[in-house]
Amino acid sequence: MKPITCVLIVLVLCQLCMTTSATKLFNDENVKKVKDMTKKFGSKMKDEAKEFVKNVKDIEADKRSIAEKIQLHG
């Protein structure tokens, strides 16, 4: 999820706070939904971070491989 999406989610939640009563918004069911959504979002961000690190490591390995080939043939 991109940072702009996070900002939009926060804005939507703020809008909900302004347009609904606090007691209705913060009932147990809605709190549980928000917690579940936050947990899923956190897991997804963690997975994306792992994928990003893996991609960076792959790029670094490719750069080293190319540098070695250049040194061997240079």
- As given in the structure block, the two tokens for residue 44 are 């997804």
CB atoms under 10 Å from CB of 25, counted, come to 14
Instruction: Tokens for 41, please give them.
Output: 């979002």
Model confidence at 1, pLDDT cuts 50, 70, 90, reads low
Q: What are 25-73's pLDDT values in tens digits?
A: 677 888 888 889 989 988 899 999 999 999 999 999 999 999 998 888 8
pLDDT for position 2: 74
The half-sphere exposure of 52 on its side-chain side, counting CA atoms within 13 A, is 7
Domain limits for position 56:
3-73
Which sign, positive or negative, has the C-alpha torsion 13, 15, 20, 21? positive
Q: How many folded domains does the chain comprise?
A: 1
